[in-house]
Every structure is written in structure tokens, then in C-alpha cells.
């Protein structure tokens, strides 16, 4: 079984936990957390199915669904033309179609706090201009 959290960390993709995990109060549920990971994408999401299979959920984009059918060789339609089950070996190809959201580069805490002189004068009650 693949842990999507490790894949997301390696490729710097954003992921979230499914709301069903929040409803679980017992600590043993967190050991099953890989089943609740969802990779957020521009055109849908990717999540774990079972074993070495993943599911691509296309959010109302028939154009992406048509490209998926053309470019991914080994898949199974789970729910019409919007949910597809595929093998983990095709993850990079599917990700190229769905465009996973990326984490921001750099350290978000290391930002510049420099203030222009006009702003500091306005805070002190002085005239600006």
C-alpha cells in the first residue's frame, strides 16, 4: 500500500484529510490515516482506493475526462465519466492531467517586515507626503 502523505511530501503537493477522519474520535483511526488522504488538484482530486490502486475524481470537466481515457491505458470507470480507478504506476501521468496543487516555496515565516517611511510616519500621527 502506498502512503500518499509521503508522495505529497516528496513532490511538494498539497493534500488534505477527508472529513470522515474528523468524525472519528478514537486514536486508532489515525493509524488508518493513509486511507483518508486526498491530493487536491486543479481539476479534481486523487485518493487511495485499496492496495496499489488510486482513484481520480474529476470535478465536472469532460475535457479532462476525455484526455484521461485517451492517455491512461489501464483504468476502470467507477462512476460514469468522472471517477476512475487506476494503478499507482500511472500516478505521474494522472497528476500531469489533474494538476496537483503545489505547496508554496520557501519558509512562510521568513518574510520581510520592512515598512516604508511613509507608513511609519502615518502611524506616528505625522504628516505623510
Highest mean pLDDT among 22-31, 81-90, 113-122: 81-90
What are the phi and psi torsion angles at 87 (to 5°)? -80, 150
Q: How far is CA 19 from the centre of its chain?
A: 14
pLDDT tens profile 21-71: 767 666 555 666 667 888 999 999 998 888 889 999 888 778 888 888 888
Q: Which of 38, 99, 87 is nearest to 63 (CA)?
A: 99
Burial of 14 (0-12, 13-18, 19+ CB in 10 A): middle
pLDDT value, residue 122: 52
Mean pLDDT of 83-100: 91
* Residue 3 confidence class, pLDDT cut points 50, 70, 90: confident
Average pLDDT, the chain: 77
Could you tell me which residues come within 8 angstroms of residue 97 by beta carbon, excluding any fewer than 6 positions away?
43, 64, 67, 68, 71, 72
Mean pLDDT of 82-107: 87
Mean pLDDT of 2-26: 81
* Residue 78 confidence class, pLDDT cut points 50, 70, 90: confident
Amino acid at each position: 500500500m502506498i502512503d500518499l502523505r509521503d508522495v505529497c511530501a516528496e513532490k511538494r503537493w498539497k493534500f488534505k484529510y477527508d472529513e470522515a477522519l474528523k468524525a472519528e474520535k478514537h486514536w486508532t483511526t489515525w493509524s488508518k490515516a493513509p486511507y483518508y488522504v486526498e491530493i487536491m488538484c486543479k481539476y479534481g482530486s486523487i485518493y487511495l482506493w485499496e492496495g496499489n490502486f488510486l482513484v481520480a475524481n474529476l470535478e465536472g470537466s469532460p475535457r479532462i475526462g476525455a484526455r484521461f481515457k485517451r492517455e491512461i491505458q489501464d483504468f476502470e470507470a467507477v462512476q460514469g465519466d468522472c471517477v476512475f480507478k487506476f494503478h499507482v504506476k500511472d500516478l505521474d501521468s494522472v497528476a500531469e492531467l489533474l494538476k496537483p496543487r503545489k505547496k508554496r516555496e520557501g519558509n512562510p515565516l521568513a518574510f520581510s517586515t520592512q515598512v516604508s517611511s511613509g507608513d511609519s510616519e502615518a502611524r506616528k500621527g505625522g504628516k505623510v507626503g
